[in-house]
């Protein structure tokens, strides 16, 4: 039997969710609402510190590869623990069907913490960019593989115009080439294949050396130990995005200290 391509499933479901959201809250209405919002917190500035590796700590309840990761999931309690642990930024997974997320988590976390907040989701169109800004995102994730070059450019430009940074995620050399041709400042390397969900740390080894030194680089997926972190630090990576290892830990604060070496 052929393997199920989970990415196709997620994207199909997401398109349904976008239609439902639009029927409740039109794009024009969102555009008006974002015009008077207070300034965003600078995301790139928060994670691009010289001589140190920054942490973007993620809040997520479940994932397609793990199922429910955290039974006693309380996004506000987790956000509070992250803030107290000294993280540089927080990523909030808002995808509903496979990750147990919710767009409202974003605004609730934003009100509670002082650090910048990243919206992590499957962003496909401008509506979601306006939505991200309205619900408090300081930055959004854009997945290169889901978007044509023109669409990626459009969403990046819109995000910039609204005052948000974009973490543009790549998972292979072809995708990286596309992104480097666009001169984007913040690049994420995802060690997990979005199709098979398998993690391969060699993805970072391969792609990191191809990225110009003036880019801010975030590594995502599969980071579980201080050894992993040390390897990335020596490589010269600016930041790591870690979710599952913290969500699985009984004591989140201790796990942050253990992996980051703080």
User: Which residues form the catalytic set?
Assistant: 58, 60, 120, 169, 190, 220-221
Residues in a beta bridge with 189 = 170, 219
Yes or no: say if 167 and 186 are a contact pair by the CB < 8 Å rule: yes
DSSP string of 175-224, one letter each residue: HHHHHHTTT-SEEEEE-B-TTT--B-THHHHHHHTTS-TTSEEEEES---
Question: Which helix (H) or strand (E) element contains residue 58?
Answer: strand 54-59
d(CA 28, CA 130): 10
Q: How far apart are CA 146 and CA 164, in angstroms?
A: 20
Q: Are 178 and 149 in contact (CB under 8 A)?
A: yes
Mapped onto helix, strand or coil, the DSSP state of residue 100 is: coil
Residue 33 in tokens: 């609402």
The four Cα atoms 76, 38, 122, 120 give a dihedral, to 10 degrees, of -40
Which are the contacts of 190, defined by CB distance < 8 A and separation ≥ 6? 169, 170, 171, 203, 220, 221
Q: How far apart are CA 87 and CA 231, in angstroms?
A: 19
């Amino acid at each position: 039997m052929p393997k199920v391509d989970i990415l196709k499933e997620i994207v199909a479901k997401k398109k349904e969710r976008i239609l439902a959201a639009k029927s409740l809250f039109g794009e024009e209405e969102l555009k008006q609402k974002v015009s008077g919002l207070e300034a965003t917190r600078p995301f790139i500035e928060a994670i691009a510190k010289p001589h140190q590796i920054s942490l973007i700590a993620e809040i997520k309840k479940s994932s397609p590869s793990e199922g429910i990761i955290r039974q006693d999931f309380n996004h506000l309690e987790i956000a509070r623990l992250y803030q107290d642990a000294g993280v540089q930024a927080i990523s909030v997974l808002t995808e509903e069907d496979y990750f147990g997320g919710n767009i409202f988590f974003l605004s609730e976390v934003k009100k509670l913490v002082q650090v910048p907040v990243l919206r992590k989701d499957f962003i496909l169109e401008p509506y979601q960019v306006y939505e991200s800004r309205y619900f408090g995102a300081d930055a959004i994730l854009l997945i290169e593989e889901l978007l044509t070059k023109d669409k990626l450019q459009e969403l990046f430009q819109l995000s910039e115009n609204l005052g948000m940074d974009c973490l543009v995620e790549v998972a292979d050399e072809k995708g990286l080439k596309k992104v480097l041709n666009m001169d984007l400042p913040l690049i994420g390397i995802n060690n997990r294949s979005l199709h098979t969900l398998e993690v391969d740390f060699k993805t970072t080894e391969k792609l990191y050396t191809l990225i110009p030194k003036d880019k801010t680089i975030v590594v995502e997926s599969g980071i579980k130990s201080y050894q992993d972190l040390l390897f990335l630090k020596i490589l010269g990576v600016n930041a790591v995005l870690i979710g599952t290892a913290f969500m699985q830990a009984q004591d989140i604060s201790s796990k942050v200290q253990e992996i980051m070496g703080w």
